Amino acid sequence: MKGKWFLTLSIIGILVVVGLSLSLYFAFKPPANIGITITDDLNRTVDINGVPQRIVSHVPSITETLFALGAGEKVVGVSDYCDYPEEARLKPSVGSYFDPSMENIVALDPDLVLTDGHSESIKPLDNMGITYLVVDPRDIDGVFRDIELLGKVTGTNKEAGKLIENMQKRISYVSARVEGVPRPKVFYVIDATEPSNPWTAGPGSFIDSLITMAGGENIGAKALSPWAIFSIEQIVSSDPEIIILSVRHGTAFTSAEVLRGHPAWQETTAVKQNRIYVIDGDLVDRTGPRIVDGLEEFARIIHPELFLERMGE
């Protein structure tokens, strides 16, 4: 009798162990992601066979998104412009963002190439049997959709959901704080190498949207295109209260001193009140997760009285 009970308990124990092992296996097993079909941002229908293990991304914002999703180990190639996070710099380069080398891409034997569709160099991939997706969001909601898309493609759906939730929460916080407050006039300087005809961000640009979301009025919204030259006469007549300079790698195309020393710029309220600020242009130009960092930085600049504390911490 005791022998039967011992045998029964042994069988039950084995079944429990097997059950736990299977549960752990399926809990940590990467999603199979077999045979999915994706519609990319050029409205192309693309078949993805299995979770890609060798991804090339020549677009900085896409590279940043992949690392934010925890898919950085799948990235085997980037462009020279992919400098964030620091780990991205260690990946092999396929050349410049604008003109990636097909030879370098093919040599990396990717099972997926990610692009924003702006480079003519990518188009031959169609005839080379290399799968590629176009990821090029046009607005903040598009950024969320593309994070979700990349999560689906790379088998990181859960991470994508958490990332989107965090971004939306931070955006909602900023929106709630600036609701109903006065909107200072803001002029964003992309490049004022020629101080009398600086480049700025106009309607349809992410920068225009972010300034508005941060509680400002973008003077550049009067332009006719997302990237436009504004004459010094237009700037003086619009009288910006805040001027924001884009900085790349710690250096602005034009220093604040140049504007302060220019007779026409000196007529603006921003220069008179010394409200000239700098921002890392990558935070507001790259359409990836750090776009919310850019929004928060704009909010601190435009409404310091509302955002004394550090956001997103």
CA-CA distance, 254 to 283, in Å (whole number)? 18
In this structure, CATH architecture of domain 36-155: 3-Layer(aba) Sandwich (3.40)
Q: Count Cα atoms within 13 angstroms, Cβ side, for 313.
A: 5
* Domain extents in the chain: 36-155, 182-302
Instruction: Say which DSSP state 31 is in.
Output: P
Answer yes or no: are the C-beta atoms of 207 and 201 closer than 8 Å: yes
Helices of type H across the chain: 2-28, 60-68, 102-107, 140-154, 157-178, 206-213, 232-238, 256-260, 269-272, 281-285, 291-302
CA-CA distance, 174 to 73, in Å (whole number)? 33
Task: Name the percent of the chain lying above pLDDT 90.
Answer: 78
SS percent in the chain: helix, strand, coil, step 5 = 45, 15, 35
Question: How far apart, in Å, do the first and last CA atoms of the chain sit?
Answer: 64
Distance between alpha carbon 262 and the CA centroid of its chain, in Å? 35
Whether 36-155 shares its CATH topology with 182-302 is answered yes
- Write down the pTM of the prediction: 0.86
> pLDDT per residue over 127-171, tens digit each?
888 999 999 999 999 999 999 999 999 999 999 999 999 999 999
In this structure, CATH architecture of domain 182-302: 3-Layer(aba) Sandwich (3.40)
> pLDDT per residue over 87-103, tens digit each?
999 999 999 999 999 99
